[in-house]
Structure 1
């Protein structure tokens, strides 16, 4: 009992240390950002540019001659304006402190849960959200985990009082953990990784195949009775309104997963993780399958691979014509470093920095099906953007000074800044 009380008190101290800033108010008047280098997000760069937005929507963008009459003009001369960075395949908002079970809500019990919605678990009061926002990550995909079929994800804004305020696109896709031929075991004593045959694969594959086959048969019926909520939640996958996100790393698993989706006439499949996707790049291109890569800042998982293969992989896929997005996968609090992964990709094979920027903006928007709203700075799209003092893909110069989400100017206070100020004051005292 003593330990339980201690844990509760400790959690109380953590959560009551400071409050996140209140969500931004709706945009009240037109705003024009002038004099900046504008990175449109589609490969185009506008020097000494102007972007004007009103009521949360971009109304004009161009060079210095773009009209700004009637707008509140904010000079950002010498700085850089970017579309909001989009973090797919994320558990931001679904977990806070990995070691405190009560703050982790990213999966449900059971193996086949297509009806589970990550949307309603998204915690807008998370202390992590403001920290990723301060590096330009303004949209995140709340992704369920666990089991063979994990549930549905939703695309969320990093500002809002609750999940209803924060949601941009509900239930954008169903998530599947592809049963691999191999299982990885990590030894925490000597930090070694061993790969062995997955003894549970046959059982998991049988259940997965049966679930999708039954769902397709059920959805082919008119007015099926009784209603099956699990199968109803998969309707969008078969109609093309939702993506089928498949976590698969080995090349053989990737090919098998794509053929599985094709055999069921599932229109949209996305490979997530894809550690060996570069080995099947031609196959992915031929089948028009995009890839969301996981963490790049890591060592390769095979001893015979080049040490810089994770860095070079986005460039290999890009040159093969595959639509590539970048994510931080399970590193929820490290999501703030997503832009720097794009910077790394630019230095290891991606043709240029603007192409690397697309991998965390417009490419991710296309994959998630939100490119009509965000991902690039274009007239008619939402004014979800940020101003950086320097190159946002470089950790040395990424200093985010202003953030706008749907035109709302967001307070950039966060726990990191508060702690920095606290200890700066402490060590400056005589």
Structure 2
């Protein structure tokens, strides 16, 4: 005769043999049914009346709550989604850019050229591949943790900016910030409070950009050199975020940093090669209000290609007097000085000194006062055509015709 077994008064764990907990405190408090052996008939369950739970200590409470949470989490992963969960998942699908919606690089190259009148460099497409790898469902938000989002030509690759729905001239002012000259093509947005954005800068629409520029549109028109390519720009941004990140966020920034550098190495993209930027700098014939300067063909021996219209200091004084005039009569009087400069610019264009009129037009554009928009269009459109940069003329017309918006609500989607 078998000795009577001791009654087990522990609480029955609701997860039974499926419970994965190995914590000693958990097993002291809960009992678990064993799986029936295939070679032996299972013993009929004895229902045990559960005694009232004793008042738990602080340590026990934290352990129990952790055990329960882990078990529930495990259960939810193993269980198929409920009808409500399926509905929620389908409603979120509209916010994603599914792989089926994206288009190939070759198709995108053609569409981008049509929509924006310029081509994107190789690092642009390599960077897109990285973003798809980091976030296949929403590659435009691959660097969301850095408060960065991809816009403009990237939205063509994502399949949200469609050739069938969005065409020139609307696409030419899509994500074009207030102070973006035609030479600047925005591809990344940052802090909306500052109007922070980055884009490719090129002096000729038929050429590839020489560097990535940045601007804070709500602050000023200044264009800064941000790096030779998008990988260099994002490497700097991620590294900056990593320095100031809390311990819980550091890991994700480290992963982004590693992914960036690995992809750059794979594509043979140099993060520190600024040779193209410095080569351009040697070609700059004059400074501008936006500090980027302009590049035109200039013969030093004959001095054909550029002549100065006015010094920056004097031009600012002329423009300030016009903008701040208290009456229309006074404004017309002050406008005479600008009219003289425009006449001088037209003569310069006739004599192939295209750099001077380009400088004057860009500076008027950077001044930002809408009263100068007619003069900006009059000077720059003709000068761009004479320089064989007619694409920039079309971009300028679209930008000004759109109202040249301030702020950050610049999408046509």
Same topology, TM > 0.5? no
- The higher-RCO structure (CA 8 Å, 6+ apart) is 1
Range into which the TM-score falls when normalised by the shorter chain: under 0.3
TM-score between the two structures when normalised by the length of structure 1: 0.26
Which structure has the highest strand share of the two?
1
TM-score between the two structures when normalised by the length of structure 2: 0.26
Which structure has the highest helix share of the two?
2
Which structure has the greater CA radius of gyration?
A: 2
